[in-house]
Amino acid sequence: MLSALVQKKSSTNKDMQDVSAGKTTVTTMFKSSSDAGVMANKIDQYGREIEQLQKICDLLTCYIGNVVLKSFRNEKNDLYRRMLQQFTVIEINNAHTQASFWSACLQTPKVKSAC
């Protein structure tokens, strides 16, 4: 929205300069020098809108940086922590299964006699 307003302002400013200079272009064909005041008002209005949108953009940037990113980071850290806990539980279960397997292997008669 901000870039569209800047473009509208520059276009209106160029049209006003063309009308003031007496040039005729496609966009200024139906405009006269009396329309310069209306165009000047539009340029001022666009300038105020650009200023207000810039303030809103700055405010949103601060809000996102200070509030949203902190909560996002905390959520991702909690998710990572839970994943690590689940991974740890799975690895402990795998270690118990492996120990049970080797214990059973050592209990077989042929392995006992070999030791």
Average pLDDT over residues 64-86: 96
Instruction: Give the range of the structural domain holding residue 58, as residue numbers without chain letter.
Output: 2-103
| DSSP string computed for 25-90 | -TTTTT--GGGHHHHHHHHHHHHHHHHHHHHHHHHHHHHIIIIIHHHHHHHHHHHHHHHHHHHHHH
CB 28 within 8 A of CB 19: yes
Q: What is the pTM of this model?
A: 0.53
Q: Is residue 111 part of a domain?
A: no
pLDDT tens, 32-42? 656 667 788 88
Q: Is residue 114 part of a domain?
A: no
Q: Is residue 93 part of a domain?
A: yes
Q: Is residue 78 part of a domain?
A: yes
